[in-house]
Amino acid sequence: MNDKLKINLSGARFNNFKSVFDDLEKCLKEVGIDFYVLGALARDMLFSNEEINTRATADVDLAVYINTKDQDIYQLLRNKLIDNYDFVESKENNFALTSTDGTIIDLLPFGEIEVEDGVTIMGEGLSSIKVNGFKEVHLNGLNEVDSEELGSFKVAKLSSIILLKLIAFDDRPEMRENDPSDVSSIIANYFDINANDIYEYHNDLFEGDEIELEFIAAQVIGREMKIIIHENNELYERANSIIESHILKAEKSRFIIGMIGDFCSEIDTAILWLKKILEGIKE
């Protein structure tokens, strides 16, 4: 289920992406590739209506759906961006391009092109990535957003962003040091952003003893994650296992330690947030 959302992207950080987005959308449409925004930029877009201050990102992460096992369509997309829109390829990362203004674009292919939840393409530098969860988010975890500034496109829901960050951190923790704090920022602000939906569809969580709004938010996030992953038993079990592992390790968990900062000040709070997410998934 994809929800429609009107967002305001008039801030300076988004104005910098306008020309890049225009080029990307034109090229993706020419090639006939569906896509969605994910990562820190997706979070910041969904935070924009509330003017929440977070770590600014200079990168654009796009999940691009490739509906064939053949890499030709993905390579066609890259070549068009390079030849027709003056993007520059990276020698270190075969999935990254740089726009004329210096913005780094990660084009992350998923779909039929995957082999065992990963994608490998020919070239120097980084040539293999894991995309576990991308297909499920594409099916059941997107917001269709509309903005005057950048037009209409699809963005991973906040719950989807948390799911993908948990998986990515599990795959390569040494490369994903910002993921835990990004997750904390989402949990801490989730209720304010989604209050109307929470009161309408999750009012059962207000019954009984008084509970902190962040705990309610975390359980709602878990419920939404369940919708995304419930049809893929392997992914469902993996998500549960990742969260359970961090809870069990507690203060020894690198992820939980990384959650502590501007949005979460206590180890115990971070653990409780993860427990509530897990509770929502397992309901």
Q: Which region among 15-29, 53-67, 266-280 has the lowest average model confidence (pLDDT)? A: 53-67
- In this prediction, residue 210 carries a pLDDT of 65
pLDDT at 49 over 90: no
Contact 36, 133 (CB under 8 A): no
Which has the higher per-residue pLDDT, 117 or 32?
Answer: 32
**Tens of pLDDT along 129-145?**
999 999 999 999 999 99
Of the pLDDT bands very low, low, confident and very high (cuts 50, 70, 90), residue 117 is confident
Q: Which region among 56-65, 67-76, 92-101 has the lowest average model confidence (pLDDT)? A: 56-65
Average pLDDT estimate for 52-62: 78
Of the pLDDT bands very low, low, confident and very high (cuts 50, 70, 90), residue 119 is very high
Residue owning tokens 């064939």: 68
Angle between helices 158-171 and 179-201 (to 10 degrees): 150
Burial class (CB in 10 A: 0-12, 13-18, 19+), 283: exposed
Q: Which two tokens stand for residue 37?
A: 């925004």
Strands 142-147 vs 3-6: parallel, antiparallel or unpaired: parallel
Of 136, 131, 130, the C-alpha closest to 159 is 136
Strands (E), 101-183: 104-111, 118-120, 128-130, 142-147, 151-156
C-alpha angle 155/158/160, rounded to 5°? 80
Indicate the domain borders of the chain: 3-156, 171-282
Contact 135, 88 (CB under 8 A): no
**Class assignment of domain 3-156?**
alpha beta
